[in-house]
Amino acid sequence: MIRIERRLTEARWLVVAVPAGSLLAAAFLSGIILALTGHDPIGTWARLLDRGFLAEGAMSATFVTATPLLLTGLAAAAAFRMQTWNIGAEGQLYLGAVGASGIGIALHDQSPVLIIPAMVIAGIVTGAAWAAIPGVLRAYTRTNEIITSLMLNYVAGLLMTYLIFDSHSYWRDLSTFTARVFPQGKYLSDSASWPSLGLAGIAIPFGFLLGMVAAAALWLIYSRTRFGFEARVIGDSRAAAHYAGIRTRRKIVAVMALSGALAGIGGASEIGDFRHVLDPRGLQQASFGYAGIVVAALARLNPFAVVIVAILLGGLSNAGFSLQGATFPAGLVGTLQGLILFCALAGELLVHYRIRFVRRAAPLARAPEKFGAA
């Protein structure tokens, strides 16, 4: 008989072994799906790894995808840590992109020293403001934040589409005849392009560096400040926090805004680092916000682990985008991400519980026998 017993302490080695095992198990399960649909699993995986990590220039491209994943992963980790379920990183990232591109267009003739910080701040402000809506609704009207933050993702996507495709907004390029017929956004000036750091032939985007700083800051906030301590108490027991006099309402709004700000930086980085134009279709297809949930869960909400997991999943997504075609069907990346998350959830059981194979428990009447023959 199988018995599941709660461990008194988390098993340390499992904290690393479970995510690693999850990746392997997900690779195996996706192999079954590939084989069932007539694709060669090993060949597909080899190409995935090659395009994601090994091929020339692959790591630079992987960092391009890892950057938004790092920031949306941190956004999810920041909120989930307090058991506040911000599923709206997707929309908050869009809003960050809208804010950063808006300010970038407005300051087009300024120097990078001014434009780049302004874009980062604009991303933070717009992302935080968008996330504050479900935060305030949760705190003051007790409305389920999962659904409200998710609904706002669709609204944010429609807002971007409106700005570029269905209006003569500030973001839309109307300077030429073709641009009026085939709608597209205004491109930002060169001085609004964020720098990148060359390291061993790999270009690390400025947004990724910001994300690493944000990860360290998030760790500091949650482990070394009163704010973080109170947020963790709320996460563990809302009733206990209330009795301890912690102002839970303010904290919910603050943590949602913090989470949205991180996703907003992700949106700003999408503009400053890569796209240089507000691109509703591209941003919506990428669905970085939802992938951030996978990153955070696989990293078990640890900010430093988020950095590493973002690079791993960034590699998979990057390979998925670049390989997409007849032999590499769309949808495989999301399937893979879901499988990884399932395995991580199943593995979580091992971290908290011990599974023991024992002989069927003796009936009560025979209990005294255990003193004699065992």
Partner 1 sequence: MNNTILVVIAASAISYGTPLLFAALGELLAERSGVLNLGVEGMMLMGAVSGFWAVQTIGGPGWVVLLVAVLVAALVAAATSLIHAVLTISLRASQIVSGLALTIFAGASGLSSYVGHVASLGGQPARHEFAAIDVLGLKDLPIIGPILLHQNALTYLSWALVAVALFYLYRTRPGLHLRAVGESPATADAMGVNVTVYRYVHVMLGGALAGIGGAFFSLAITPGWLDGMTSGAGWIAIALVIFAFWRPELALVGAYLFGAFSSLGFTLQTRQVHLPPEVFSSLPYLMTIVVLVLVSTGWARQRLGAPASLGVPYVREER
Taking CB under 8 A as the rule, does residue 144 contact partner 1?
yes
Contact residue for partner 1 among 28, 162, 170, 182 (CB under 8 A):
162
Q: Which is nearer to partner 1, 53 or 290 (CB)?
A: 290
Query: In the stretch 18-47, what mask flags binding to partner 1 with x, by CB under 8 A?
Result: ---------------x---xx---------
What distance in Å separates the CA atoms of residue 68 and residue 218, rounded to the nearest whole number? 16
Q: Which of residues 215-274 bind partner 1 (CB under 8 A)?
A: none
Contact residue for partner 1 among 55, 129, 159, 202 (CB under 8 A):
159
Contact residue for partner 1 among 12, 142, 359, 370 (CB under 8 A):
142
Beta bridge partners of 156: none
What distance in Å separates the CA atoms of residue 245 and residue 231, rounded to the nearest whole number? 12
Contact residue for partner 1 among 17, 49, 155, 217 (CB under 8 A):
155
CA triplet 162, 166, 170: central angle to 5 degrees?
70
Taking CB under 8 A as the rule, does residue 187 contact partner 1?
no
User: Quick check: 149 and 305 in contact, CB under 8 A?
Assistant: no
Q: Give the tokens for residue 244.
A: 């301890």
CB of 369 to partner 1, least distance (A): 22
Enumerate residues 6+ apart whose C-beta is below 8 A from 340.
22, 23, 26, 294, 298, 313
Per DSSP, helices labelled H in the chain are 12-36, 41-49, 58-80, 89-106, 112-141, 145-165, 177-181, 206-224, 226-236, 238-243, 248-269, 280-286, 288-298, 303-323, 332-352
Q: Give the tokens for residue 69.
A: 């994943």
Total site size for partner 1, rule CB under 8 A: 49
CA contacts within 13 A on the Cβ side of 54: 6
Number of H helices, E strands in the chain: 15, 4
CB of 269 to partner 1, least distance (A): 21
Q: Which of residues 311-330 bind partner 1 (CB under 8 A)?
A: 329-330
Q: Looking up tokens 């995808």, which residue turns up? A: 65
Q: Which is nearer to partner 1, 31 or 334 (CB)?
A: 334
Taking CB under 8 A as the rule, does residue 363 contact partner 1?
no
Taking CB under 8 A as the rule, does residue 212 contact partner 1?
no
Taking CB under 8 A as the rule, does residue 14 contact partner 1?
no
Taking CB under 8 A as the rule, does residue 372 contact partner 1?
no
Amino acid at 337: Q
Q: Give the tokens for residue 213.
A: 């700083």
Q: Which is nearer to partner 1, 38 or 201 (CB)?
A: 38
Residue ranges binding partner 1 (CB under 8 A)? 6, 33, 37-38, 85, 87, 137, 141-144, 146-148, 150-152, 154-155, 158-159, 161-162, 166-167, 285, 287, 290-291, 293-294, 297, 329-335, 337-339, 341-342, 345-346, 348-349, 353
